[in-house]
Amino acid sequence: MGTQTDSVLSLYSNEENWIIMMKMLLNKEELVCDIDNPPYCISKAPKAIRSIKEEAVVPQRIAIGPYHHFKSNLYKMEKCKLEHVKVAHQHLQLPSFELLVDHFQTNATRLRGYYQEVLDVSDDTLSWIMVIDGLFLLQLICNEDPLEFVDSSGRSVTMETILRDVIMLENQIPFFVLENLLAESNHATKIPSLFTLAMKFLPKISPMELQGIFMEERHGNALHLLDFVYNLVCVGGSPVPSTTLDFAVETISLTVWSTLWNTVKTLNFSFLALPVKIIDSTLNVLASMGISFSLQIVEEKALIPTASELSKVKVKLSNTAYGIRTIHFSHADTTLHLPKLTMNINSGTTIGNLLAYEAVAKPETPNFARYMQMMAAMVHTGEDLELLKSQNILKHEGESGNVVKLFNGLRHVLIPEGQSDLDFCIKNINDYYNSRGKIRVKNFIKQLAHSSWRALTVLAIILVLALMALQNFCSIYSCQGLFMASKNNLISSF
């Protein structure tokens, strides 16, 4: 076993741990998961997501769980973490740390079953990790007010930075660890359940604003914190009772057509006056219908139309507030119902880790990935962003340009496989949009132009070159009357 240069264990003799690990590997019974173990593991983030932005899936300040617990660069926060652990231990009036560790050692096999990777630490070390990190996580969850964090160099670390690391897939510990710690408290009968505590903590880490009734019987079986957020975001709450990513983008910029048309309009031939007027009037009518035909062909295979495109065909947007499962398109009132997405300093990390978790745990039903695909497809410009904000579908902090850039990036990396529950809704939106009269005209023009653009472009280039030669000839031999205005010089415009 090679020396782990990024591990604090490399500062000490690691031979004893190596022997323990070898014994565990040779004794297969020690690595067999209990029959009641969860079907999904706490795994490393997929390489596809890690390769995009590693710092979004690898903790930068604080480690939770065995994957990164011994990384030397994270030990700057260890003293601060232990101080919070002691506060939580005292507040909960728990037994001694040694007794808590002994308790988890009896559950070591179950603990290992939650992790996809083989953990090269002893049962004793693993139990200490769970006690320390479990109490730290409880201290975060139980306190409604922000905690203070200072690293070993005396620098303050923001609460948002800590929350950013806590939500990462590789920084998870099983929820049953937290439940067992709460059960050991002398105040166990007075302390709310872990589900209740986690629900109060949810707004600090959730990318959505959720409403409704959340029943512990339905939502209280989360495997870990990220799984808890994922389930609530996807499933959402029940309504309150009342009396009543392969995106192929092919952009063909044909400025030569604009140059040709602008030049034709400058020719001083009387027989061209009527055709030019008719074509200009036709283009103006198409523009008034929302059909842009600027002789620049843009062919994009988008999942759904953008927010501004939907608005032009009278599609309304409404906030469901009950999670992804309630997303739907209503033909009766032409309304697309979407949950409210909050974009802040940690949103990119949270979204990335939710996508990573779904890719590992539930690749067959990529509901969260499909939802993010829909949002990315709807946001192409600042106008789209403002429209979603005005309809309470999107809330963001910071520059609008950065949010648009984030969505533009997501469009090219989100390529989930499997069938989503949202596919039917997406089909309904596209069917409605494509059935509108002016969209049919627009699509017909695009198909016609796209099918013949190569031959037409060659013809346009020939005509432009011919007109350039004619204009050069006239500039030498004084046939100025051929062109209406010298300021519209063909060479400069081309």
- Shared-domain flag, residues 374 and 460: no
| Residue 229: predicted pLDDT | 94
Give the pLDDT score at 294: 45
Tally DSSP H helices, then E strands, for the chain: 21, 10
Average pLDDT over residues 11-18: 52
- Of residues 8 and 112, more confidently modeled: 112
Question: Is 404 inside any structural domain?
Answer: yes
Cα separation, 302 vs 288, in Å, equals: 23
Q: Given 394, 410, 431, which residue is the final one in a domain?
A: 431
- Assess whether 358 and 456 both reside in one domain: no
pLDDT-above-70 percentage for the chain: 67
pLDDT for position 25? 60
Verify that 60 and 120 share a domain, yes or no.
yes
CB proximity list for 147: less than 8 A, separation 6 or greater: 84, 139, 140, 159, 162
Q: How many residues does the chain have?
A: 494
Tell the residue number behind the tokens 């990935």, with chain if given: 369
pLDDT band at 6 (very low <50, low <70, confident <90, very high): low
Tokens 């070390």, residue located: 125
Domain boundary among 140, 169, 202: 202
Segment among 138-147, 149-158, 244-253 with least mean pLDDT: 244-253
Q: Is the domain of 423 the same as that of 447?
A: no
Within a domain: 290 = no
Interval 72-85 mean pLDDT:
93
Torsion, Cα 369 371 375 376, to 10 degrees, reads 20
Question: Are 84 and 137 in contact, with CB atoms under 8 Å apart?
Answer: no
b/e map of 315-334 (b: 16 or more CB within 10 Å)?
Answer: bebeebbbbbbbbebeeeee
145 neighbors 151 (Cβ within 8 angstroms): no
Instruction: Please tell me the predicted confidence (pLDDT) of residue 481.
Output: 56
In which domain, by residue range, is 314 found?
307-431
- Could you say which of 202, 235, 264 is where a domain stops? 202
Same domain as 175, residue 37: yes
Q: Is residue 56 part of a domain?
A: yes
CA distance 198 to 225: 8
3-class DSSP state for residue 340?
strand
For residues 337 and 468, membership in a common domain is answered with no
pLDDT value at residue 414: 74
Regarding whether 443 and 424 lie in a shared domain, the answer is: no
Q: Within this chain, do residues 474 and 427 fall inside the same structural domain, yes or no? A: no
Residue 109: half-sphere exposure toward Cβ, Cα within 13 Å:
14
Q: pLDDT class for 478, splitting at 50, 70, 90?
A: low
Based on the structure, what is the number of domains in the chain?
3
Residue with tokens 């512990």: 216
> Which pLDDT band holds residue 12 (cuts at 50, 70, 90)?
very low
| 4 belongs to a structural domain | no
Identify the pLDDT of residue 249: 31
pLDDT tens profile 281-291: 655 655 555 54
Name which of 21-25, 36-40, 349-353, 354-358 the model is least confident about. Answer: 36-40
- pLDDT tens, position by position, 185-221: 987 778 899 999 999 999 999 998 888 788 887 777 8
Residue 117 and residue 478: Cα distance in Å, rounded? Answer: 82
Residues 173 and 224: beta-carbon distance below 8 Å: yes
Please state, in angstroms and rounded to a whole number, the distance separating the CA atoms of residues 49 and 446: 35
Shared-domain flag, residues 113 and 161: yes
Residue 408: pLDDT band (50, 70, 90) is: confident
